[in-house]
Structure 1
């Protein structure tokens, strides 16, 4: 039987991908002044991208009936192949021959090296290694709720500590190892996969979607004020433990998941979704092209920077996907 593709998950992947690019392209437009402008708004709107990435992955994998280590090791192998290949490409391009390329590969997984965003792959590998055991434990919805409740409490402790200390304590842990956060979103996605989609559509009412959308688009102002006046640190990464962000991430995921999307009429969603991981990989180097060749010395430069990075990244990845061998390292 041919497996039916969930176009709604593809749309969530596109939203998460765009959100990551927002996070990386808009902050320079307000970080120095710490002022509120449209770039600040777009930056904090991108906060939900990482939670959505983990939730989609959790929905897909924990939604499987069984997860074997052979399957997991195969997925880890392709992550390592992708990370190693891109690291070697930049290593050769930069002629960084005195540097040990293996250290560069490992460094990328630990938020160092040539691709700082590859910490996501490092965290994903650690989660993957736990999945076969985790799947055996999560035999019922009650067990999902139990472990999610524990992780929510841990997140609340971090959130309250940040408020009391007037600084984000997560700063002492690189993103790869903030596993209490990533496991929460991953398992939350898996929990939703335990429900029939029609049941979710009936339970998640229209008024809930309206509230979610209102909160989502109003949240950047709240997050900015909290970052500036409480955290005294503008980075959105320190909000992932926030119960507020968790609720909106859940609402956003459910809102998009319960859309009525016809795959045949929305093939562009599938096309762009297939490119999202490639865009995630290369967009930081597309940013460097703009920074070196154009710069930000004119009005509207940062908005054009965002548009340029998104459009060029998707175009380049679209071309790479048509080239043998390269297509494998822009799609996981």
Structure 2
């Protein structure tokens, strides 16, 4: 039986991928001065990329009727294979032979090593290992709500402490281990998967979509203000716990999920979606190359940087996908 592909999830992945690139390319244009500009706006607009990635993954896996350890271990094995192969490639290219590559592999999963963005894979592995047990507790929509309420309360406690301390308490925990946050978004995606898509379309009214888009568009102003006056830290990673970002992330996800998209007219979305993981992997090294080539002596370079990074990353990934064996390590 042919399974219909969910193009809406593909589009969410594409938007999340663009958001990750924005997070890693725009801060250089306002970090030193800490002043508000277009790059600051684009940076905080990218805040929703990581929540969306976790929600998509949760939607796909928790949407399954059964999750077994053999299935999970196979997925974990493939993640470790991808992380290991890319680490070895860079290790060989750099001739970093005085360093144990195993330490670099583990380091990448812990926001260190050659690929600091691989903390996402580290967090994903920890979530995967809990899924077969967690799935037994998530046996009804009510159970989803109970667990989500617990993680919302945990996030609110963190935010209250952050306001009191005037700094992000999360800064003491590397992103890999901020599981109270990642479990929330993952399970939220799983909860959405429990509802029929047509039912969601019926319930998620047009005014809700408009409100979600408007909140997303004005949110960079709010987040920048909080970063400057409350957190005294510009990094967007410390906003994932606040209730406002959770609500907007949900609104964005449902807005895109309920769009009317036809598969035969949206092949470009599928093509880009298939490249998102590859872009996630290579874009940090594309950034390093462009930094050396471009420099940042004028404002225009900053504005071009996200566009160039995304375009070059897509070109690199599309070429790698045409090479035997390499085409396997740019997909997850």
The normalised TM-score by structure 1 is 0.99
| 2:35 aligned with 1:39 | no
Q: Deviations over 1:76-124 (max 9, x none)?
A: 1110110001101110111110100000000000000000000000000
| 2:12 aligned with 1:12 | yes
Give the match's secondary structure for 1:96.
Answer: coil
Q: What are structure 1's unaligned runs of at least 5 residues?
A: none
Distance 1:191 1:138 in 2: 9
Matching residue of 2:216: 216
Distance 2:212 2:67 in 1: 33
| 2:280 aligned with 1:286 | no
Matching residue of 2:22: 22
Q: Could you tell me how far 1:294 is from its partner in structure 2?
A: 1.7
Matching residue of 1:101: 101
Matching residue of 2:267: 267
Distance 2:228 2:242 in 1: 15
| 2:317 aligned with 1:317 | yes
Distance 2:32 2:236 in 1: 15
Distance 1:152 1:54 in 2: 16
Superposed, 1:99-138 pairs within 5 Å as 99-138=99-138
| 2:191 aligned with 1:191 | yes
Matching residue of 2:164: 164
Superposed, 1:20-99 pairs within 5 Å as 20-99=20-99
Distance 1:303 1:72 in 2: 41
Give the match's secondary structure for 2:265.
Answer: coil
Q: Could you tell me how far 1:322 is from its partner in structure 2?
A: 1.2
Q: Could you tell me how far 1:269 is from its partner in structure 2?
A: 0.1
Give the match's secondary structure for 1:31.
Answer: coil
Moved over 6 A (4+): none
Distance 2:21 2:160 in 1: 29
Q: What are structure 2's unaligned runs of at least 5 residues?
A: none
Matching residue of 2:306: 306
Q: Deviations over 1:179-228 (max 9, x none)?
A: 00000000000000000000000000000001001000000000000001
Q: Which moved more, 1:289-298 or 1:10-19?
A: 289-298
The normalised TM-score by structure 2 is 0.99
Q: Could you tell me how far 1:297 is from its partner in structure 2?
A: 1.0
Give the match's secondary structure for 1:274.
Answer: helix
Q: Could you tell me how far 1:299 is from its partner in structure 2?
A: 3.1
Q: Could you tell me how far 1:298 is from its partner in structure 2?
A: 2.3
Q: Could you tell me how far 1:2 is from its partner in structure 2?
A: 1.1
Matching residue of 1:236: 236
Give the match's secondary structure for 2:264.
Answer: coil
Distance 1:186 1:80 in 2: 20
Q: Could you tell me how far 1:323 is from its partner in structure 2?
A: 1.0
Aligned residues: 332
Q: Could you tell me how far 1:276 is from its partner in structure 2?
A: 0.1
Matching residue of 1:153: 153
Distance 1:295 1:114 in 2: 22
